[in-house]
Amino acid sequence: MSGLNIVAIAKAFAGRPVLDDVSLSLEPGERLALVGPSGCGKSTLLRIVAGLESPDRGRIEIDDIDVTDVPTHRRGVGMVFQDDQLFPHLDVADNVAFALRVRGVGRAERTRRVAELLGLVGLGHLAEAHVGQLSGGEAKRVALARSLAIAPRVLLLDEPLTGLDRERHDSLMTELGSILDAMGRETGTSVLLVTHDPAEADFLAGRVVRLTDRRDREVANPVIEGSDEPGDRQP
């Protein structure tokens, strides 16, 4: 099937298994949330899908193509990092334009796309701001806009709302849900979300998968808690 296939992934660090035989499939446009206790390997799985870590065993397929050995920059995935990782030497617009620039997109088209993306996340007025001046919520929106610039086939969100106060968390969660809805309709991007917050997982994803801690069980196979059809659950 097209979309994202995670097939029998295993990963150990310094001899300690973190992921063991983990398999998941996401259809195009589907949103899946991975939940579980810290240290259970959620973020590691995300990094393996992004190509930032290599699995010890198993494979990653995107749109039926095995990308396990494809370097990160050629995988066509977008990622929002837990701590945003905005480039401190660039302003907001240049952060968002980064992927377009890397792909050689011309200045006029870049400017148009950046305006569109910043409009999408409601930050058009901060295009020239320095990233050090942004609030936590604004930084996360910029990180999201930046990851969407190349219309990725798979979008990876690593604790995208962590570190915000409750009020900002809730408002940004609603906004993120709307953005992902719009994106899903337009591009068919599959979204894999990692969070420790079950409410956030329920709200943002159509399907929730709990990853158990390898230290508690013999095998860290995921336990599927919800199995709604993609698109059934509206944020």
User: Residue from 62, 98, 114, 200 that binds another protein (CB under 8 A)?
Assistant: 98
203 is a site residue for another protein (CB under 8 A):
no
Smallest gap from residue 70 Cβ to another protein (A): 12
Tell me, by CB under 8 A, how many residues bind another protein.
28
Apex 66 CA angle, 65 and 70, nearest 5:
110
Q: Is 88 in the site for another protein (CB under 8 A)?
A: yes
- Of positions 41, 51, 58, 230, contacts another protein by CB under 8 A: 51
DSSP string, the chain: --SEEEEEEEEEETTEEEEEEEEEEE-TT-EEEEE--TTSSHHHHHHHHHTSS--SEEEEEETTEE-TTS-GGGS-EEEE-TT----TTSBHHHHHHHHHHHTT--HHHHHHHHHHHHHHTT-GGGTTSBGGG--HHHHHHHHHHHHHTT--SEEEEESTTTT--HHHHHHHHHHHHHHHHHHHHHH--EEEEE-S-HHHHHHH-SEEEEEPPTTTSSS--EEE---PPTTTS--
Residues in the chain: 235
Among 12, 52, 115, 127, binds another protein (CB under 8 A): 52
Q: Candidates 27-35, 71-79, 207-215, 222-230 — which segment interacts with another protein by CB under 8 A?
A: 71-79
Smallest gap from residue 39 Cβ to another protein (A)? 17
For position 127 contacting another protein by CB under 8 A, the verdict is no
87 touching another protein, by CB under 8 A: yes
Contact range with another protein by CB under 8 A, out of 44-52, 111-119, 170-178, 216-224: 44-52
Nearer to another protein, 30 or 53 (CB): 53
Options 15, 69, 89, 216; binder of another protein; rule CB under 8 A: 89
**One-letter amino acid identity for 169?**
H
149 touches another protein (CB under 8 A): yes
Residues binding another protein (CB under 8 A): 50-52, 71-74, 77-79, 81, 83, 85, 87-90, 98-99, 101-103, 132, 146-147, 149-150, 156
